Amino acid sequence: MKKILLAVGLCVSLFAHSAETTKVCVDVKDKSGQVVKDKKGNVKQNCKEMKVHKKLDGTKVPEKK
């Protein structure tokens, strides 16, 4: 019984806190600043997965008199 509850709790926690991710790619450049290309002529890129956080809207802080 404890194992079942542990498994269910683990599954819920994994899906509840999953954030959106986007793939961000940046062109690779050599020391002279030129874009690096492979044999086919395509631009070589470094790609990473980044989390996207939801921006929260707040209320304006009242000014002191």
Beta partners for 14? none
Q: Rounded to whole angstroms, how far apart are CA atoms 55 and 44? A: 32
- SS3 call for 51: strand
Q: Using one digit for the tens of pLDDT, what is the confidence trace for 20-29?
A: 889 999 999 9
Structure-token match 């509840």, residue found: 16
Domain locations along the chain: 2-52
Element (H, E) at 50: strand 45-52
Q: Using one digit for the tens of pLDDT, what is the confidence trace for 19-53?
A: 788 999 999 999 999 999 989 999 999 999 998 88
Beta partners for 43? 37
What is the pTM for the complete model shown? Answer: 0.47
Per-residue pLDDT at 12 exceeds 90:
no
